[in-house]
Each structure stands twice: as C-alpha cells, then as structure tokens.
Amino acid sequence: MQTVKMVVTGPFNSGKTQFIQAVSEIDVVSTERRITSEAERIKENTTVAMDFGRITVDADLVLYLFGTPGQKRFDFMWEILSEGMLGFVVMVDSTRPETFREAKSILETFRAYAPTPYVVAANKQDNDEAWPIEDLRIALRLAPEIKLIPCVATEREKVKTVLLELLYSILAEMETS
Amino acid sequence: MALKGNLRDFSTTQLLNLINLAKKTGTLVVEGPNQAAQLAFRNGKLIYGQLAQEDGNLTSILHKAGKLNDEQARVLRERAARSTDKELGLLLINAGYVSQTDILLSIRAHVLDIVYRLITWVEGLFRFEQGVMPSEDRITVPIELENVIIEGARRMREWERLVEELPSLDMALKFTEHPNVNIRDMKLSVEEWRVVSFINPKNSMKAIAKQNNLTDLEIRRIVYGLLQAGLVEVIRPEGAPRPLPFGLSPRKPSPPTPAEKTAARGLVNRLIARIRSL
C-alpha cells in the first residue's frame, strides 16, 4: 500500500479542519480539545496537535490530508508534517484581514521547508465580508503565477477544485523538473 | 539566588529593566547558540559591552565609527597593540586625531549597538555576575537604561514583525518582472544599494547579509522595505534541492530516472481521477 500526503495549513480558525472534513472518507481525526477547567483556561484555551483525513484512491494508493495546528505555539510540528508532502494548501480566511499577515508568514515558512507546489485557498468566499480575490492577492503579495482559488471549506465541490488545482500544479512541476 | 536563566523565558529587555530597578553592579553574560556577549553595569547604569567574537578595543570602535580610516586603524593595531584603551585614547586626543567627545560618543554607540543586537536574541543562557567589572584598561561610559529599554522594546516589536514577514533568511530574492517603480528613481541608502547589488536568485538573504556585514535585523529591515515597494520577491535559491514531489522518496539525492518520473506522473493522475470522482 502506497501512501502520499498533502498538508493543509493556515492561521488558526481559517477552515483547515472543515476543508479536510469536506472530502475525507473518514471522520477527520482531530486532536483539538477545549480545556474546560478554569485553572487551565488561564494558561491556554485549546490544545491542538493536528487533524488528518483520508482518501482511498485504489487498492494500492491512499492520500492523507494533514491539517497543521494553526496556533503559533505549535509551529514546531510544521516541519515534521511537511516532510515528504506532495504539496500544500494555504487556507486564508477571506473575511479576517487581521490574519493575512500570519497566512503569508506561514506560506513563506512552508516554502522554506520544502520546494513543493502549493496553492492558496481563499476561504469563506460565500460571506459578504470576504475580501475579493484580487484584493487578497495584493494583500498577500502573491505573484500572478501563484494559484489563489476561491473556496468555501464546507462545500465539497469547492474543496475538490482546490485539491485538483494543486494536483495540476504538481503535475506541471513534474513536467518541468 | 543566582540571576541566571534562558532568554526564552526572560527577555533581554526584562533583564535590563530588572538591573535598572535593582541598581545592580556587575556583568551580564549571555551565551547564545551562535555568539556570546557581555554587558557591564554600575549602579543600574550600562557602562560597557562586548561581543565575544569582536576584540572591542578602542581602535576597532573608532574605526567602526568612522573616526579612524583604514590606514590609521592598521597602523594603530600594529604600533599600539600593547597600549591600553585609556592610554591610546589620550594619545589620539593629544595627537589631534579625535576629540574626547568623539571617543565617548563612539563607545556609547558601540555599546548600544551590542545591546540592541542582544535584544533580538530569543535564545541564550544568561547569568549575572555580581560585582564583576570590565578590566581597568577599558573606557566605560555610563548610559541610563530607561531609554535603552524603551528603544529596545520598540526594536523587539519591529524584529518580531519582520521575522513574521521574512521567517527564513535561507530564501533568495529576485527583482519583480514588472515593478511599480523604477529602481533608478528610488532614493536608497548606501546599505540598501549594497543589498540590491547582491540580489540574485543564487544568493540567499543570509549570504547577502554576511557579504555586507549586516545583522539579521538589518537585512530583514532592508528586504522588507524592498518587498513593500514591490521591487523584489522572495524565491527559493537557485541550486537548492528541488526533489520531485513523490511524497515517498523526498530525500533521494540522485535525480529521478525516466521510469520514476513516469511512475510519479501516473500516481498524480490517479489522484486527480479519484478527486474528480468524489
């Protein structure tokens, strides 16, 4: 059995878990937990390791989708998760400009980890507050050749489009390398 | 109780604040992953600083401050190697090379430069050696810590922001294909021009900084400005490994064979077909 993985990354609460949930054939294995004890709440609200989902391609091939912990304090996990990935998706919450800088920073960090193809998914494009795609491109300082794809992480077809665009980029990269 | 710990848990600005409030006298020794530094204090005032990899003598300080030219510094290093900083300072003042103010301001700038570098360190073991003072031959200049702490905190915020924007200095730069402005029309500083002259997909930012003797903060500050102006973009350095994204053999050193390439393409096409069918 061959397994390959893609990583879904982005700031905290950008929609990574929903994205994976939309296409995973198993319930997303989420290690997110809300801390209920008041004493612990003072220290931190949640403890998050990672999420993962699975898509069985055929009898010999399985694709795993790994969602990175969005909180900065878990960034030591990012490099581990990025090892051997086929490509990665950077999720951006189009309605929260205060997270754009962090999204860009995460993108640059992952680019430094691995020279694999990636796409940026502009999530929550169904929301009235969402920034238009071209404004987002400027805000995130994305070069024209980088795919910035409108997305609604709860809609399977939109998520499929993002994953397919990433796979097309991977294929194109293979042709040129 | 020994004042020691790690900058991870207690930052340089917090340490300076403590030393200032407690009016401490002694030397703060910080050993970072790549470098080490010492700062000396008397009654809560900063009086001296030295980085481990620099000699920190008066000739070097005045040379760095532009008060001595290359030739003067060379001659002094050869002929006055045995003089203490105090003796050398008197000699230079009497010879009319520099004034007393030049010396004091240069030392002050040198010490502040070390403190502001230290403020950007996020990791490093520190200990405060109570009562330990620099050797008698060094010239000390008392500096009030309040303004240093305020400026340090400002630089720390700037540093954090710049690291967020440019997390890795291993990446390279290239000029954007259609910049909004012509670089020739821009008013760049000498340092900025020097960085611009090294922009090349083969040069990492770390290499450019090393070539120009810039700190991590300085190179990030300059690159951030160039990025904001839309003049450059961050790219992976040319020649950096670009493994075929198999997912299964990411660290294979040899280039993929045609058969491996075909297999990889086949794998991706299978994934595409499966995703489409979802």
> Residues 184..213 of B with a Cβ closer than 8 Å to A: which?
none
CB atoms within 10 A of CB B123: 10
ipTM for the predicted complex comes to 0.84
- Spell out where chain A has E strands: 2-9, 29-30, 33-34, 46-47, 51-58, 61-67, 87-93, 118-123, 148-150
Q: Is the confidence at residue A122, as pLDDT, over 50?
A: yes
Query: Could you tell me if B267 lies within 8 Å of chain A, comparing CB atoms?
Result: yes
- Count of all residues that appear for chain A in the document: 177
Amino acid at B88: L
Q: What is the pLDDT of residues B158-193, one digit of tens each?
A: 888 898 889 889 899 988 876 666 666 777 888 888
Query: Could you tell me if B224 lies within 8 Å of chain A, comparing CB atoms?
Result: no
Q: Looking at beta carbons, which residues of chain A come within 8 Å of B167?
A: 105, 108-109, 112
Test the A interface: residue of B168, B169, B174, B268 with most A CBs within 10 Å: B268
Which residue stretches of chain B have pLDDT < 50?
Answer: 1, 243-253
Query: Smallest CA–CA separation between B273 and chain A, in Å?
Result: 8
CB atoms within 10 A of CB B135: 8
Give the pLDDT score at B251: 45
Query: Residue A163 and residue B270: Cβ atoms within 8 Å?
Result: no
Question: Can you read off the two tokens belonging to residue B60?
Answer: 């070097």
Q: What is the pLDDT of residues A19-37, one digit of tens each?
A: 999 999 887 666 555 545 4
Q: Looking at beta carbons, which residues of chain A come within 8 Å of B247?
A: 3-5, 84-86
Amino acid at B12: T
Structural domain count, chain A? 1
Judge whether B175 and B231 are in contact, CB under 8 Å.
Answer: yes
Confidence of residue A109 (pLDDT cuts 50, 70, 90): confident
Q: Which residues of A touch B (CB under 8 A)?
A: 2-5, 23, 55-58, 61, 63, 83-87, 101-102, 104-105, 108-109, 111-112, 114-117, 141, 143, 156, 160, 163-164, 167-168, 170-171, 173-174, 177
- Spell out where B224-276 has E strands: 232-235
Query: Residue A167 and residue B272: Cβ atoms within 8 Å?
Result: yes
Under DSSP, the state recorded for B11 is: -
CATH number at A87 reads: 3.40.50.300
The domains of chain B are located at 4-157, 172-235
Percent of chain A predicted with pLDDT > 90: 45
Choose the closest CB to A171 out of B167, B176, B268: B268
